[in-house]
Structure 1
Amino acid sequence: MQLEIRPDPAEVGRARRWARSRLAGSGIRDDETLAETLVLLVSELVTNAVVHTGCPAVLRLSLPGAVTEEATVRLEVDDTSDRAPVPRCVDGDETGGRGLALVDGLADRWGWSREGAGKRIWCELDRCAAGRREPAQVCDGGQVAYEGLAYEAV
């Protein structure tokens, strides 16, 4: 399954809705941690493609044929930019720059590769691992701790 993305920030919301509709038909419930995490990852990777490349992109979602406790979901975003993704270290006051840190913290695996004139960024979520994740906890200062990682809730 794939969705073509225009280089327009409004496409991020459309990508999230598309991902939710695909999950609904797969047997993965909308209220599962896996679904919530996947939609957040779609949002981050599509935002990165739209904001940092200014190029069209393609979002792919690979769902297992039979959803079992060990099912793996794979998300890919291809774009035509040859610029490599670069994780950033940002101050607490910055309004952006945390996307790849979120992907790294939430996905079971992620990476990227050159594809033709562009690149592919991918991540995978294991259903059994997602079910074991500890829920987010709000810490002092408005930060959210998720599996030992802290993100500021804005």
Structure 2
Amino acid sequence: MLQVQLEVEPDPAEVGRARRWARSRLAGSGIAADEPLAETLILLISELVTNAVVHTGCPAVLHMLLPGVPTGEPGTVRVEVADRCARPPRPRHAEGDETNGRGLELVDGLADRWGWQPEGGGKRIWCEVDRCVGAAASASRYSEVALGVR
């Protein structure tokens, strides 16, 4: 099991930096950038980091726990974002052309499991994707969620 982390400042530009960082860590763990699993994980990371930096105004820490490194064995990839804001996440449902409000809905549709827990004076939001078994299913679930089928 490999655990890596990145400190993220409360700046929307940090979301792109977190995606680039995550892509390099996934590649180092044997998950190729063009695999559906990698694409799903990058989208999940993007949504969780965006929520942390946009909605809390606090620094955050992105954690990834990668199984079977470097052998690529099946297992569960876990992504966590911890921040210093005690306010719980509030899932919303975006209507029509609204540009905000889909983040946790996407996380719910793409991850095999997700949740959150209070931590110190803040919280930790996490999601898990089952490697190998969940990769293809997650990619097809993305299409359903993005199209509003699910």
- TM-score (structure 2 length as normaliser): 0.88
| Aligned Cα root-mean-square deviation (Å) | 1.8
Residue 26, structure 1, aligned to residue 29, structure 2: yes
Report what 2:132 is aligned to: 128
2:62 corresponds to: 59
1:109 counterpart (94, 101, 113): 113
Equivalent residue for 2:92?
A: 88
Q: Using CA pairs below 8 Å that are at least 6 residues apart, which structure has the higher relative contact order?
A: 2
Give, in whole Å, the separation in 2 of the partners of 1:87 and 1:77: 16
Shift of 1:90: 2.0
Residues 87 and 128 of structure 1: CA distance in aligned 2, closer, same or farther (over 3 Å): same
User: Kindly, what percent of the aligned residue pairs are identical?
Assistant: 66
Contact 1:4–1:57 (CA under 8 A) maintained in structure 2: yes
Residue 132 of structure 1: CA displacement? 3.4
Instruction: Structure 2: state its 5+ residue gaps.
Output: none
**Residue 81 of structure 2 is aligned to residue 77 of structure 1:** yes
Corresponding letter in the other structure for 1:101: E
**14 and 103 in structure 1: CA distance in 2 versus 1, 3 angstrom threshold:** same
Residue pair 1:77, 1:122 contacting (<8 A) in 2 also: yes
Q: Give the total of aligned pairs.
A: 143
Task: Indicate the SS of the match to 1:133.
Answer: helix
Q: List runs of 5+ in structure 1 lacking aligned partners.
A: 138-143
Runs of 4+ in 1 over 6 A off after TM superposition: none
- Quick check: 2:106–2:146 contact (8 Å CA) kept in 1? no
Whose radius of gyration is greater, 1 or 2?
1
Amino acid at match of 1:121: I
Letter in 2 for 1:123: C
